[in-house]
Structure 1
Amino acid sequence: MNFPLQARSPLVLALTGLFPLASMASNTQDYAIPPGALGNALNRLAAVDGWQIVYDAALAEHQSSPGVQGRHTREEALNLLLAAAPLQAKVVGDNTVALEPAAKPAGTPVSGAEQQPHSGPVSLGTVEVSDSYAHPRYQAEQELRQRYYIPRSTTATKTDTPIMETPMSIQVVPRQVMDDQQVIDIKDAVKNVSGVQSADDFYVNFNIRGFDTNNNIYRNGLRLTNLSALETANLSQVEVLKGPAAVLFGRLQPGGLVNLVTKRPLDQPYYSVQQQFGSYNLYRTTVDATGPVLDDGSLLYRANIAYRSNDSFRDFVSQENLLVAPSLTWRPIDPLEVNLDFEYQHYSFVQDGGIPAVGNRPAQIPISRYLDDRWSQYNPSTQDRYLAGQSHQASV
């Protein structure tokens, strides 16, 4: 295959033999290559003669060619194109020519660096080496990666152990992922974990490796049951343990468990307010505030508040959910930390009875039709949940 080749980046060739250009066959033909950039002229010459012309793009950069007109051999045509450029051609194979810098004529003055002999040691200039890890942009990238990378977990062993050293399958959904996806429900967060499906149930329920969790979910390692409409505003991450874990958690299904890890107070003040809007009149407001209570940092606080209100694609169906979750962290001495958590959730909803079946198919009515007692929209069902928890840890 014959094709012109013009290097767009530095090209290195291993040349086993170089022969004068005059050794090629001398057959004349007509040329009509106008003056212009040397690279364009070489491409046109290669297209006419079927040559492969190999050269470093830097050699032809900013070089011009007078062009070639009339009848010439292809060797003469190439020499005419290179007349104004400090280049010379060498044959490196059949129909292949390499261009290289032309040798300096005898008597051409050389620089002092070229005259200096290299028989002894050569003193090099100072080389400054900087640490790229200290660059602010790199540090910002590392901080962003750490929001997605969770190296440790307490679910499998109930100790702060690296996941790589834990002989069980653990997957973690970090807070940054939930923020990126604007997750407002636990079921949406767990969709990121393979082998776990949300069960179609009123209560929070999952199928892990084909086993139903029986409406059980764990919060900081403690089991809770028959909970609904759980919020994500006060969660730092969601950890999913796959496989049997009855040794640590007692009686549970062999598929695994879902553990909710709540946010902890921070040493530095942090305040956040977020407003979300969505389909079917969805409104959700979240507030997150944390910081030290005492100047010495021995007592910290955090308060998470979330309010959500939304309708449904079904007429007269609506939901309202309020979560208030304050927490305190007390550090009386350096190795000891005591955490106190409290949660209050008020959940109000109108039950959706769905569409009845006629025979073995749904009734032919609009999907938005509400068939339950309409009085229920004025007397919605309510759930009030109170939860208090205490934990402590001591480093050794």
Structure 2
Amino acid sequence: MTSFPVGTTVSYICRPGYMRVPGKSATRTCGEGLQWSPVEQFCTERKCSHPGDLEHGSVHVTDLSFGSKATFSCKEGFRLRGTDEISCVIKDKGVGWNRDLPLCERIPCEPPPNIANGRYTEAASYVYQTSVTYRCDDVPKGADPFSLIGPATIFCTHDAHSNGVWSEPPPQCKVVKCDNPKVENGRKKSGFGPSYSYRDSVMFECDPGYFMNGSDVITCGEDNTWSPPKPTCEKISEDGCAAPEITHGVVIPVKAVYAKGESVQQKCNANCTFPDGTREMAVTCQGQNTWSSLQNCACEPITSGYTPHINYGSVVDGEKPSYSVGDFITIECYSGYTLHGEARIQYIGENRWIPGVPTCQLSPYVTAIICVIVAIVVFLAAFWVYKKFFSQNGKRDSTPCTAEHKICKA
């Protein structure tokens, strides 16, 4: 019908995906004012059940009504296997989700690369956060050993597309040999050896009258060369000086060589002083590698000002007027008191001891004995009071004739 006379009633059915609202009429009637009534909504969206939990992942859903969507994401180290979104659609005369839930699988990596002259620790599977450690093969006695160049351990991680990748390229195993380094007008200070392989280090110092140009420490690199390059020891001119050496202190500014007449500041480390008690002093290059008034710093041990006070106890071993870091003392409680803490403690500076200064507390047995004695004394005092006052008052009352009684009769 295209037009409806007054009083006409029409009936509705809800479309697929919608259902009747209980208690609401599904009819409309044309009234005298040419308006349909009633006007309230009687169809509402059907709702899908919650899709459920996703192991190792999360479900994101704001509405379960027909037409809504649910999305999925996985925790770090996992990736989705399946769709990342499902929709609530018409299904079997009702509504339901159009697809099954996806899975979150741990991100896998291909087996780690093999390397020449080395091997890695094998695992049952290689997934996110699995690590493998490489080591080089052993060599026959007398042969040059292989050195592991690069990271010994790599681990399975992932790229921006959640594909499994190894954190770094694998290391290499190769023979590394650096020549025996020698510095003219200088000598080795440490790192003596018949041969040098990967990461071996050598420290040099120059002969008197020479100053060092370059780094005093060099290290054997993977390309069989020293890094940084070997230093050189250059002769100090008659009008120059090498950097002054100072124990337990520093020189400001630091240079390889100083001109005649140039001054530097020497500064002692913390808790260290020069013989005159100062911490800083200036020295001047006088030429021919000679400095004015060169002195070394002397360091005093860090001390505490006093022995820790122990209530009801004393120090029985190691007591001093003051203590250096590392000193031990032993503490003992007086008779009848129990030690709470360690008996032997060590000084660590700044008036602090480890594992802490113990305390002496009254023994539970002594406490119990004192309580019993106090109870007995209180009982005896109460008995004495009772005997002295209550018993004597009773005797007076029972006496038939007293002086006062006789006076009343007279």
Relative to the length of structure 2, the TM-score reads 0.21
Greater Rg by CA: 2
Taking CA–CA contacts closer than 8 Å with sequence separation of 6 or more, which of the two structures ends up with the larger relative contact order?
A: 1
Higher helix share: 1
Relative to the length of structure 1, the TM-score reads 0.22
